[in-house]
Amino acid sequence: MNTPLNPTDRDALRFTVLIPARMASTRLPNKPLAEINKLPMVVRVAQRAALSSAAQVVVATDSPVIIQACEEHGVRAVLTRADHPSGSDRLAEACTLLGLHSDEVVVNVQGDEPLIDPALINAVARLLQDRPDCAMSTAAHAIDQLADYLNRNIVKVVLDARNTALYFSRAPIPLGRDFDGTAWWPASSMPPPLRHVGIYGYRSGFLCEFPSLPQAPIEQLESLEQLRALWHGHRIAVHITQNPPGMGVDTPEDLARVRSLLADPS
């Protein structure tokens, strides 16, 4: 098992990237192995994550086929149980398999983000390291379109004065009393609303504890797992990025667009 961090090491950016990957995708079958210019998507994600300052990048999967694909391309992977109900449960097992100390920072990078920005990974890791009052960290960026503000598939987050999450919702939040659904944001009166970016930092100990926390009613209502942490009194620090996240892959159309973006010009 890794040794605890020494006080003199606190300023050093030390973290592990974990990438959950499973084959059971309804909209895009066998998604982790979908080829993007001659490489499986999960391998491309791992290669992008490796450009960050992470000490190690590890894929956590329930599939021996994914393990084999990772090994063929020099990506470390661990085999987890097949009965995990969520990615958080899978990552908690991976922390145990890797022997991570409870103080160590883990960044969860989704396996369908082949355009993930390594600088964003670093920022989320650094934020959690700098905020001992928080159990988690994540990211957000400003919304500048009314359609995105109203879109229930785009998760919004409201922050306090220290950029700690107050609430996440699929609803348009914060919502002005006089908002009629047509006029856009009163930019002169306050900062624009924020879109949540689905990347998370955890301390390994909290990540191992998280799956045992009872589900929260607001989590079930909104279908947002991070609300479980807030419900039980844990705090989430939020990094505000100036750049929207790279495109994720959920559908065959998404895959085609990413393939085009990453096409070899030669």
pLDDT at 154 over 70: yes
**pLDDT at position 4:** 43
Any residues with CB less than 8 A from the CB of 173 and at least 6 apart, and which?
Answer: 156, 158, 167, 193
**pLDDT at position 125:** 98
Give the percent of the chain with pLDDT over 90: 74
pLDDT at 259 over 50: yes
**pLDDT at position 28:** 81
Q: How many CB atoms lie within 10 A of CB 23?
A: 15
The answer to whether 114 touches 262, Cβ cutoff 8 Å, is yes
Lowest-confidence region among 12-16, 60-64, 78-82: 12-16
Give the percent of the chain with pLDDT over 70: 93
Confidence band for 2, pLDDT divided at 50, 70 and 90:
very low
pLDDT in tens, 165-219: 999 999 999 998 888 888 777 766 678 999 999 999 999 999 999 999 999 999 9
CA distance 103 to 82: 27
**pLDDT at position 11:** 56
**pLDDT at position 193:** 95
**pLDDT at position 9:** 42
pLDDT in tens, 9-47: 445 788 999 999 988 766 788 899 999 989 999 999 999
CA distance 200 to 228: 14
Domain boundaries, the chain: 12-243
pLDDT at 265 over 70: no
**pLDDT at position 8:** 41
| C-alpha neighbours within 13 Å on the C-beta side of residue 58 | 23
**pLDDT at position 1:** 35
pLDDT at 148 over 90: yes
Q: How many CB atoms lie within 10 A of CB 145?
A: 12
Task: Please tell me the pTM assigned to this model.
Answer: 0.90
Mean pLDDT value across residues 64-70: 96
**pLDDT at position 241:** 95
Class for the domain spanning 12-243? alpha beta
**pLDDT at position 127:** 98
Average pLDDT, the chain: 90
Radius of gyration in angstroms for the set of CA atoms belonging to the chain, rounded to a whole number:
19
**pLDDT at position 10:** 44
Which conformational region is residue 175 in: left (phi greater than 0), alpha (psi within -120 to 50 degrees), or beta? Answer: beta
Please name the helix (run of DSSP H) or strand (run of DSSP E) that holds residue 99, with its range, or none: none
pLDDT in tens, 92-122: 999 999 999 999 999 999 999 999 999 999 9
Confidence band for 55, pLDDT divided at 50, 70 and 90:
very high
